[in-house]
Amino acid sequence: MTPKMDTTEPILFVLSIDTEEEWEWGEAFPQQDANVSNIDNIPAFQKVCEGLGLRPTYFVDYAVADNPQAVEHILPLVPEGNCEIGAHLHPWCNPPFFGPVGEFESHVVNLPKEQVSQKLENLVKKLEQSFSIKPKSFRTGRWGIDKKVMSLLIEQGFNVDSSVYPFYENEYFHCNGSPSLPYWPDLDYPLKVSSQQMIYELPVTVGFNRSNFELANKIHTAFTKPPLSWTRFNG
């Protein structure tokens, strides 16, 4: 008898972690002195990853990069080369500040280009100072990307973005129609594929555990909005 060959293709994936402050999500967005004590657990988490042969990407935000104790936990991991430090932009705790931050202002895509530009510049500088690295990968806080953010990422020397959240939509933006596998995004409309090769898009992995993806997506979308959302069917 011939032994059964395993013809399953290996699954290649990237593990990325939004490395950020913690707070009660139903409360106001923290601006200064955010709680980053959750970062104390990164060294233990990194050990687990290394045990599994994984090299995670930590998308670090300003609140973490600006906190000496949090930096102390992450910094020793960097020269070992078993992880990558990327950038994560939370507009509410990333200077300069432009007034109170509500739901609208918490989404990077809703902010004027000039504000995003200044915040991103500060974030990159802070990561360079704290970790002696130049971040090459990026994710927006609360997801979503547009032409304006894409152009700023290229200006700052990023070559990977991971802000696309396939099938997701809210009142400010959507990622409908985006590929669900990595692609070269159109710089004018990042949800579409193009031939540029300056920046690569790694959409976050999402999907439905149903074989009819299209139908599952339609049902899911219908239940996110009134008149059906009250049923909490999606939950």
Nearer to Zn ion, 172 or 189 (CB): 172
- Binding segment for Zn ion among 9-17, 46-54, 110-118, 134-142 (CB under 5 A)? 134-142
b/e per residue 44-66 (b: at least 16 CB within 10 A): eebeebeeeeeebbbbbbbbbbb
Nearer to Zn ion, 122 or 217 (CB): 122
User: Exactly one of 91, 135, 141, 190 binds Zn ion (CB under 5 A); which one?
Assistant: 141
What is the smallest separation between the CB atom of 141 and Zn ion, expressed in angstroms?
4
Nearer to Zn ion, 35 or 229 (CB): 35
What is the smallest separation between the CB atom of 20 and Zn ion, expressed in angstroms?
5
Nearer to Zn ion, 30 or 190 (CB): 30
Q: Is 21 one of the binding residues for Zn ion (CB under 5 A)?
A: no
b/e per residue 103-142 (b: at least 16 CB within 10 A): eebbbbbbbeeebbbbbbebbbebbeebbeeebbbbbbbb
Contacting residues for 137 by C-beta, under 8 A, at least 6 apart: 16, 57, 59, 84, 86, 87, 158, 159, 160, 161, 162, 202
User: Exactly one of 16, 20, 152, 161 binds Zn ion (CB under 5 A); which one?
Assistant: 20
Binding site for Zn ion (CB under 5 A): 18, 20, 141
